[in-house]
Amino acid sequence: MKNRIILVSVILGVLVAFWMSGVASAETTGSVIPVVHVIESYSGSLTIGGDVEGGVMDFGYLPAQGEPAIKTLTLNVTANANWQITVSKNQDLTIAGSDTHIPSENFTFTSSAGTPEPPGPPTYYSDSEFGTDTPVITNGTAVDSCHANVAYRLEIPAIQPEGYYSAGNHVYTLIVGD
């Protein structure tokens, strides 16, 4: 019996020694360095150039069921934080004073990088219809100056009545910050 007590005491002693030395357990650590870039406030600017004169993008005279016409805007962006650009229309291409309009699916846009291109890379959109707060470019990052292109594509349907059509305003909005 005495031998058993000695054996159990030795085994318990060894287990306690392992437990206290940390050999019987595993421990992992990691660390994080918090950082912040403090800015006075969000700021940015957006200027529009390209196939525009006096704020008007004139497609000229186009025949029904002709080849699609393409006109391109160049957007110059500066932003001190992450940014995105949206566009909103207030009407379809419509003959003034009537309900006659060119369907939205026939008047679309595709955005792409300009020169110098936005860092990131941001997200661009293809064959998008104009709507309310429609994304043009998202996930842009802070930049001193970059360019993005917005190619307008207009295709006149075969049965479109003759007339002078206007889309009213397409309002581009640069959103800087979250």
- 86-115 residue pLDDT tens: 999 989 999 999 999 999 999 999 999 999
- Confidence band of 8 (pLDDT split at 50, 70, 90): very low
pLDDT in tens, 114-165: 999 999 889 999 999 999 999 999 999 999 999 999 999 999 999 999 999 9
Whole-angstrom distance, CA of residue 86 vs CA of residue 112 = 14
Q: What is the mean pLDDT of the chain?
A: 86
Contacts of 151 (CB under 8 A, 6+ apart): 70, 71, 72, 109, 110, 111, 112
Peptide bond into 122 cis (omega under 30): no
Whole-angstrom distance, CA of residue 44 vs CA of residue 85 = 11
- pLDDT at position 46 over 90: yes
The residue ranking higher by pLDDT, 32 or 4, is 32
> Which pLDDT does position 42 carry in this prediction?
87
Contacts of 51 (CB under 8 A, 6+ apart): 57, 71, 72, 73
- Confidence band of 41 (pLDDT split at 50, 70, 90): confident
Return the amino acid letter for 28: T
The residue ranking higher by pLDDT, 61 or 19, is 61
Which domains occur in the chain, in start order?
A: 44-176 (2.60.40)
> Which pLDDT does position 34 carry in this prediction?
74
